[in-house]
Structure 1
């Protein structure tokens, strides 16, 4: 029989050991009794706003998902995912869905911008009292 050499490969842990706070650090300040710090309002996602607007327009026209998907030449499950904010639609898909609803892409984006402004107005103040900037025009980021 042959003898095997012992395995001396180094073991690398998958997770680093839990970090222990240094004893020289001062303890963080706790909020006053009964008061919890206010969480910063969550910024809405573009895909959620677009989906909400598409669904609202479709329902206002009393049209089904299948009807709009057929007119836009996209699959009904994909349009449903877009409306629910689960998929990030391309500009071509958004233009096709808007056209199927009888509105232009610019109109769709304008409605989304209005929705964004309403959402920002509800959370008009951020964290430490800094006002949220107001934008009079259409603001898009790539």
Structure 2
């Protein structure tokens, strides 16, 4: 069993946010822009009410997307913890940069920003990702 889902999901998220951030503003930026527009509109020629409602609908959509992303992050973390729990007691095999092969039973697994790290019974810590075989 190869475990690399946490890193892959994080990498895909980073790529998506980088791409979208160059084309779009975030929720707070949109809200600031909308408030600035409302403050600086010409009182003799106010913004069309349909345009205003459209902007409020956009604001609502952005807010829902932000909340969905936060819930998705929580779900991914929970999923990673569930997967990590299932690895305890299993055998991990890997080869380090020097070419040394190591095999050992997984004693504990903890989640970090970039994925998961397993501690073997021998005390060796290994980042779970490509090149690690779990059996």
Q: TM-score, normalised by structure 2?
A: 0.28
Structure that is richer in strand per residue: 2
Structure that is richer in helix per residue: 2
Larger relative contact order (CA 8 Å, sep ≥ 6): 2
